[in-house]
Amino acid sequence: MKRNIITLFLISHCLFSYAQSKIIFSKSAGGLNTGGTLDLMLYNPVDNTTKLLMKGTVNRRGEYNAVTSPDTKNIIFNTYKFSGWKLGIGDFDGKTITNISKLTSRSNYEYNAKYAPDGSKIVYQEYNWARGTADIYIADRTGKNAKHFFTTKISDQNLAWTKDGKSIILTYVENEKLRVYLKSLDQKTFKKLSQHNANDFAVSTSKAENKIAFLSDKTGKIDLFVMDLDTGSIKNLTLNLKSADADVNSIWAYKTSWSPDGKQIVFNAMVGGDLELFIINKDGSNLSQITNNNDTEITPFWTN
């Protein structure tokens, strides 16, 4: 009897945890870069329902690239409501966003924050229009005490922490191509991870294994790849997906994100002229399209 009770508890706990895990993404009417306002949306992978999380606050701009803290109590996103692209932070209860404020007191454009695995820090990017440089900063979880980490040539890219929280994975321009690199927080390691003669971008890290996912145009279209950081092995998960190639200037709209248990990945790709969302198992099985419309769906993020 006791064993049955424990088993039922574990099953219900797992189902509850999965049920609470949602996918946040941004959606605008019409095609990419056609002037639509980006709304934040919330997708439930259990019942396949999508709800409006937050209406875009500035016409023809809006909010995108939302991420939540590991405890899911806070949410950070790119927003235009603070005069130019800045990072906004708010309280998040899984259904609504409240108490929104500007994350930092800095003056540059800001993009693409990502919490460290333990939630103690964030990495984000600033763009300095005067110098034309894109700089990566690391700050505490409240956006204070920002310290310069690295300078890149890409103004709006996705950043990721390694599973151990000791390094940042980023996109770097090399020989006019986008490469995925790993740079340690102690500045001692700067290692190229992707060796493709192609553009590799939209990197994310698994919470369960030492693996990363990223998008690449190696095959002449956008595909999702997974790399094992321990062995260096790379696998194309979407050979049969009939996606289009991506304009390098539009990589800001693309994103990959792992499920909390590390078994699935959500990503977006251009199919039939529209950016749509997909979920796939980490081994490349069970590819499913979760949006199918004439709108634009970008920057999906899988919450804990």
- pLDDT tens digits along 135-154: 999 999 999 999 999 998 78
Q: Domains in the chain and their CATH numbers?
A: 2-302 (2.120.10.30)
What is the total residue count of the chain?
304
Amino acid at 201: F
User: What average pLDDT score do residues 13-34 get?
Assistant: 77
Confidence of residue 57 (pLDDT cuts 50, 70, 90): very high
Reported as a pLDDT band with limits 50, 70 and 90, residue 129 is confident
Is pLDDT above 50 for 118?
Answer: yes
pLDDT digits (tens, 9 = 90+) for 167-222: 999 999 888 899 999 999 999 999 999 988 899 999 999 999 999 999 999 999 99
0.85 surpassed by pTM: yes
3-state secondary structure 66-115: EEECCCCCEEEEEECECCECEEEEEEECCCCEEEEEECCCCCCEEEEEEE
